[in-house]
Amino acid sequence: MTASLVIEGVEAGYGGMQVLWGVDMQVDPGQTVLLLRANNAGPLTLAGTNTWILGRAGRVPADPIIVIDPGPVLGEHLASIRDAGRPAAIVLTHHHADHSEAAAALAAEFGIPIHAADPELANGTTALVEGDVIAAAGRELRV
Q: Is 36 helix (H, G, I), strand (E, B) or coil?
A: strand
pLDDT tens figures, 70-116: 988 999 999 999 988 899 999 998 877 778 899 999 999 999 999 99
Burial of 112 (0-12, 13-18, 19+ CB in 10 A): buried
34: phi then psi, degrees, rounded to nearest 5:
-115, 135
| pLDDT at residue 38 in the model | 82
111: phi then psi, degrees, rounded to nearest 5:
60, 45
CB 114, CB 87: distance < 8 Å:
no
pLDDT tens figures, 44-59: 656 777 888 988 756 6
CB 69, CB 99: distance < 8 Å:
yes
> What pTM, to 2 d.p., does this model score?
0.80
107: phi then psi, degrees, rounded to nearest 5:
-60, -40
Q: How far is CA 24 from CA 13, 31, 61, 92, 99, in A?
A: 16, 16, 28, 17, 21
Question: How far is Cα 50 from Cα 100, in angstroms, rounded to an integer?
Answer: 11
Residue 12 has pLDDT above 70, yes or no: yes
Angle between helices 103-110 and 75-84 (to 10 degrees): 50
Distance, C-alpha 35 to centroid of its chain: 9
Q: Residue 87: count other Cβ atoms within 10 Å of its Cβ.
A: 22
CB 116, CB 107: distance < 8 Å:
no
